[in-house]
Amino acid sequence: MAVIKHLAIHLSPLKFLKYILKNDKTEDKKLVTGLNCSSDVKSVYNEMKFQFEHCDRARFYKKSLDKNPTSKETIRLHHYIQSFKPNEVTPEEAHKIGVEWARKVFGNEHQVLVTTHVDRQHIHNHFAVAAYDLNGKRWHDNKTTLKRCRDISDRICKAHGLSTIEKPTYHADQKYSEWLERKNGTSWKQKLCDDIDRIVLRDDVRTVSDLAEKLARNGYEVRIGKYLSVKPRGFKKAIRTYRLGNGYAVEELQYRIENKNQELSLSEIGKLNGIQKEYALCLRELQITLYRKSDNIHNVTYRELRKNAELLSFLCNNKISSKEDLENLVNKTAEKTNEVKKQHQKLLTDIEDREKIVESGARYIELKRIKFPTREQSTELYNLKDFRAFHLQSEEDIAKYRQELSELKAKLPQADEELQTAEKEKSEVTAHYQTYLQQMQTDYDYILKKMKREKEELAEREVREDRAEESREQTAKQNYAR
């Protein structure tokens, strides 16, 4: 039996690499394998650092998190742990399984460091996985990839004669004390949830601001900004609503208010085409599962609904009717972003070159005019060899490049804005594509089967309506002939 879990490394990747490569944990590094990378700390750190900084506009080393981050923190490395049942495998077999698992999950184009630790009762593998593969493609950690990781691990374990977990344990998203209070009916958080649920369904609540206003009238102290914070009367501290559980974050509340727990109608879905119709049917079944089935055994969340609803709007707004259309848009957006990046980098390089000329151009001209330079002067001239390409002869040439520098710097703000816009567009399109893959290419058998039946019902309904329309037209013609 092997259990897989994932951790994101945002800070101090060197510290993490040193930990998983400790001699006393890996039998003096006998249980260490590098896939497309070295197996010693210094080398593997430099290799993964180069790949990360080549693909991402951020430093690989980061000591601490930003106090006021403007976006989600960049992942430097992915840390996977594969833990085995005590006394079920030898260290060598565990390491062999870990290497096999890494190859099957990440393929042949990814830097992965595999180490096996034997310092605990249960032998376990650590995997340091580069954020980008050798082709510059980012690895995305989400429910889909984690499930795939676990499925592959189970298959490998079965092939090696090991046990697997048939029914994974459910992990609660709230503390036991809070669960007990909710069960006993003494939880103030449950009362707040009930009040929010009741107010959301009111006809005069159309925005989160309306919700906040109604909560205030019910005796709560409310503050709304990036988060919605609520404090019951008599309490010292407020709680951000996203901590209440599924469906209470600001984005999820807005989705609930806009939809009022009503699933898409089949008549509206019938107006769509291609993957828009398929996806709308899939979304409808998710909505029904959450809105109308009290057990919700598939753990559908409002966050999932919101992301899927945003994707459906994206497909419709961009007139995407097939998977190929979506993939073409993803590729086109990536190519556009890469081109904008190249132009932006060229602008930065041109600015840097001209700054050097303005700063050291006069000295370069002076050194060139010396007939018998000393060794120090020759060395200094050699260090300025890049200036040869600019054919500097006089102060007039330097003045020309000084003017060009001023013009290039004037273009920089617009170039920065274009790059930010392109990267934002790429991020949005990529996020929608990942949502699509997660939804349509995972094991949502219960959705896909229901979707297939509803598609057949839609098709039959459309045929009946066409026949009815033809019959009405025929009757009208006959009446007209009379």
* Arithmetic mean of pLDDT over the chain: 84
CA distance 237 to 245: 18
List pLDDT tens digits, range 329-371.
999 999 999 999 999 999 999 999 999 999 898 888 888 888 8
Q: Residue range 18-34: average pLDDT?
A: 87
Kindly report the CATH number that applies to the domain delimited by 2-64+72-159: 3.30.930.30
pLDDT band at residue 33 under the 50/70/90 scheme: very high
The label of the residue with tokens 């710097």 reads 409
CA distance 439 to 385: 56
CA distance 78 to 64: 17
List pLDDT tens digits, range 447-473.
666 666 666 777 777 778 778 877 887
CA distance 276 to 270: 10
* Two structure tokens written together for 74: 């960049």
Q: Which amino acid is at 127?
A: F
Q: Residue range 256-261: average pLDDT?
A: 86
List pLDDT tens digits, range 364-423.
888 888 888 899 989 988 888 888 888 888 888 899 999 999 999 999 999 999 999 999
Torsion of CA 323, 325, 331, 336, to 10 degrees: -150
Q: Residue range 303-312: average pLDDT?
A: 86
What per-residue confidence (pLDDT) applies to 166?
55
pLDDT of 91 > 80? The answer is: yes
List pLDDT tens digits, range 177-215.
666 666 677 788 888 988 998 898 888 999 999 999 999
What lies within 8 Å, CB to CB, of 52 at 6+ separation is 58, 60, 76, 130, 131, 132
Helices 188-200 and 176-184 pack at an angle, to 10 degrees, of: 70
User: How far is C-alpha 73 from the chain's CA centre?
Assistant: 11
List pLDDT tens digits, range 38-48.
888 999 999 99
- Asked whether the beta carbons of 9 and 76 are under 8 A apart, the reply is yes
CA distance 114 to 125: 7
pLDDT band at residue 103 under the 50/70/90 scheme: very high
pLDDT of 115 > 80? The answer is: yes
Tell me which residue of 30, 251, 5, 25 sits closest to 119, measured CA to CA: 25
pLDDT of 274 > 90? The answer is: no
What per-residue confidence (pLDDT) applies to 144?
84
pLDDT of 446 > 70? The answer is: no
**pTM score > 0.75 for this model?**
no
Under DSSP, is residue 430 helix (H, G, I), strand (E, B) or coil?
A: helix
Side by side, which strands form the sheet with 228-231?
Answer: 221-224, 228-231, 239-240
Under DSSP, is residue 229 helix (H, G, I), strand (E, B) or coil?
A: strand
pLDDT of 443 > 50? The answer is: no
Backbone angles phi, psi at 138, to 5 degrees: -75, 140
Q: Where are the domains of the chain?
A: 2-64+72-159, 184-259, 266-321+443-466, 324-435
Element (H, E) at 449: helix 445-481
List pLDDT tens digits, range 229-255.
999 888 888 999 988 888 898 988 998
What lies within 8 Å, CB to CB, of 217 at 6+ separation is none
Triad 57, 409, 387: Cα angle to 5°: 85
- Asked whether the beta carbons of 113 and 37 are under 8 A apart, the reply is yes
What per-residue confidence (pLDDT) applies to 35?
92
Q: Residue range 126-139: average pLDDT?
A: 91
CA distance 65 to 172: 28
pLDDT of 15 > 70? The answer is: yes
What per-residue confidence (pLDDT) applies to 127?
95
